[in-house]
A and B are shown apart, each in its own frame.
Chain A
Amino acid sequence: NAGVTQTPKFQVLKTGQSMTLQCAQDMNHNSMYWYRQDPGMGLRLIYYSASEGTTDKGEVPNGYNVSRLNKREFSLRLESAAPSQTSVYFCASSEPGLANEQFFGPGTRLTVL
């Protein structure tokens, strides 16, 4: 099992460009999440999908859109990148239940110039 995979690992964009971050999990989890991590701030939730076909905003959704393509895949799109979106982005998945333990991907390091 690969767990949670993310592509790309690194990306540099110019202000105003768009891109999509991809995430896939092979653990048959129902819930998936997108976080961003900035220095000294911990991880903050951008969007999450409790189950296939549903998405909800997290703490910092502005400037982002998401698509839950199927049960395995959850993508994050930046329509018009801004320098404030320079961050490390993590995808996670979990199975709702008693523990709902979240499993994380390796992250995408994004720089917006």
Chain B
Amino acid sequence: KQEVTQIPAALSVPEGENLVLNCSFTDSAIYNLQWFRQDPGKGLTSLLLIQSSQREQTSGRLNASLDKSSGRSTLYIAASQPGDSATYLCAVRRSGGGYNKLIFGAGTRLAVHP
């Protein structure tokens, strides 16, 4: 059974710091991995999607990497800003049967203070 773990559960950093959020999964047979942002009381916004054949994806100050063999993904945020404060969720899409389904981690709650 696929399990997704995100560490740390919460993180507080000063503005301007570069930071790394971690996501690990137990079954390397994934189709892709998606990183989301969730603001308090709001829905999920997709940030980056990495296919299983890719190693990384970049969007602005965000860079996500994927190492399928070790079951890990990282989300790198450069030069953090208070507006980056949110919960970040990773989710894996399984390959094979049940390929439409995403398995989510519990998220990392990020606070960036001025």
Is the CB–CB distance between B106 and A102 below 8 Å? no
Q: Is A74 an interface residue (CB 8 A)?
A: no
Interface presence of A75 (CB below 8 A): no
Does B25 touch A at the CB level, under 8 Å? no
| Mask of A24-38 contacts with B, CB within 8 angstroms, 1/0 | 000000010101000
Q: Please judge, given known A-B contacts A100-B93, A101-B34, A102-B34, whether A90 and B44 are in contact too, CB under 8 Å.
A: yes
Q: Is A2 an interface residue (CB 8 A)?
A: no
CB distance from B81 to the nearest CB of A (A): 23
Which chain B residues border A53 with CB–CB below 8 Å?
A: none
User: Are B106 and A41 in touch, CB under 8 angstroms?
Assistant: yes
In which size bucket is the chain A interface?
A: 20 to 34
Residues in B with CB closer than 8 Å to A58 are: 101
A106 touching B100 in the complex, CB below 8 Å, given contacts A42-B4, A98-B51: no
Whether the pair A96, B100 counts as a contact (CB closer than 8 A) is: yes
Contact of B102 with A by CB under 8 A: yes
Within 8 A of B (CB), among A25-70: 31, 33, 35, 40-45, 48, 50, 58
Provide 24 A-B residue pairs closer than 8 Å at the C-beta atoms, listed in order of the A residue: A4-B43, A31-B100, A33-B100, A40-B106, A42-B89, A42-B106, A43-B102, A43-B104, A44-B104, A45-B101, A45-B102, A48-B100, A90-B44, A99-B51, A100-B31, A100-B99, A100-B100, A101-B34, A102-B34, A102-B102, A104-B36, A104-B44, A104-B46, A107-B41
